[in-house]
Amino acid sequence: MPFINSPTSKDNLPVVPLWINGSAQPIDGHSLFPVTSSVQEKVIHNAVSASPASATKACNAAATAFTSWRKTSPAHRRALLLKAADILDSRAEEIMDWQMAETSCPKEFAGFNIKAGTIYVREIAAATSELRGTVPQKSMGPTGEEVGGLTVVVREPIGVVLIIPPWNGAVILPLRAISMALAAGCTIVVKASELCPRTHSLLVECFEEAGIPAGVINMIQARREDAALVVEAIVSHKAVRKVDFIGSAAVGSKIGQVCAKYLKPVLMELGGKGPAIVLEDADLEKTAFLCAMGAVLDHGQLCFSTERIIVHKSIYEKFTQILAAVMSKIPKAGDAVTQQSATHAYDVLVDAQEKGATFLVGGPEYISKTSLKPTLVTNVKPDARIWDEETFGPSATVYIAEDDEDAITKANDSAYGLSAAVHSTSWEHAYNVAKYLEYGQVQINNMTCTDSPGGPIRGVKGSGWGQSNSIWGLHEFSIEKTIAFHPSSESNMLIH
């Protein structure tokens, strides 16, 4: 996918075009919007904002490509995905540079994204062999006699898919979503994030370089004020059969309503308010480090971030001293993707302070326009925003639990249910707590922001619907069809 130097672009900066049916679309200078680096405080390039008409064109291209792509064998799709993973590896530095430029994430986080992202692509490629049908038992007639014939259940790709990836996890999450849909035999319209369209376009470029045919992956992006109409144009398209959205619960609710309007299924991974439960038999030093890191990774801008730390009362004083010491040694937790994002995280802390919360470490304090001081909050009241609102900043709230049951109750007291952690030196003890937590995944003795490519990932409650990763993700993008071969003998036929 070309990064076009266009005379029609603002400030003569390069432009990320719309990519439809294997080619860049003509650039209309009136449809451009700026992509800004929050750290550099400047526009680094421009991107073309899609219209409902161009979005429909992308859907038409994906629908045409689906007629042949759906016929490819799992082995063929696996080979192309593995080749794409190799190309992604070879272009890792370039991809990292653009993710850092567009989202202001640390180099370590960008490196993790591309390294882990290619692992996911390869795991999903391996799972293509697991797309299998079944042969149910023969039916019985009304008097109990065996009915002849044969029934088979086959798995088929669902069709054209709309994928809406986020700017946080700007490499790993779109790679996972694109790979799952491709592996299942679907074609795709990607609506890239308006905050990092160049990063997302590079990923599409790597898949096409691997040999994915033109029209199988199409990519558009839209400025925020255009997004609602563009998304509805895609969801309403008759060829589009599913939506995969990763983002905030607020936006997910709006997309869910549009999908309901057109009766389109949706796979959603939304926000979280991840709790880490620290039991009385936990390794306190190790646990403090994991809780602190889980709270501050990429400036806390992860749905899987550790937002709440729930500590057994018998170790509360000792643990919070260790935790505070660890958090105090973190000079900076990175930068927010935009100044507005940093302001939101700051405002949530101010609101907590005004409602009686206190700070074990930090507080509402800027290090720079886009970076906040790592913070631990305690004495939080239920009416404070931070009680159950994602901060998307480098902070966590700390609570006392009277016992295991109280810890479970406090952890489950959230609209979200994405990821949790339990810390204990006894796996049995940890499991007995984990099994009552209302979360899609529970990490034992690790950060909440942990995932495994070979296992399913899902949100429950307000954190989403459906599953991603490996064969579970492929099943999201395929349907089971029952094909019944009835006997030719009239004596065995049922008449309705």
Give me the catalytic one of 303, 307, 390, 449. Answer: 303
* Residue 123: active-site member: no
Asked if 303 is an active-site residue, the reply is: yes
**Among candidates 292, 357, 284, which has minimal Cα distance to 330?**
292
Catalytic residue among 123, 205, 232, 269: 269
**Distance, CA of 428 to CA of 434 (rounded, Å):** 10
Which residues are identified as catalytic? 269, 303
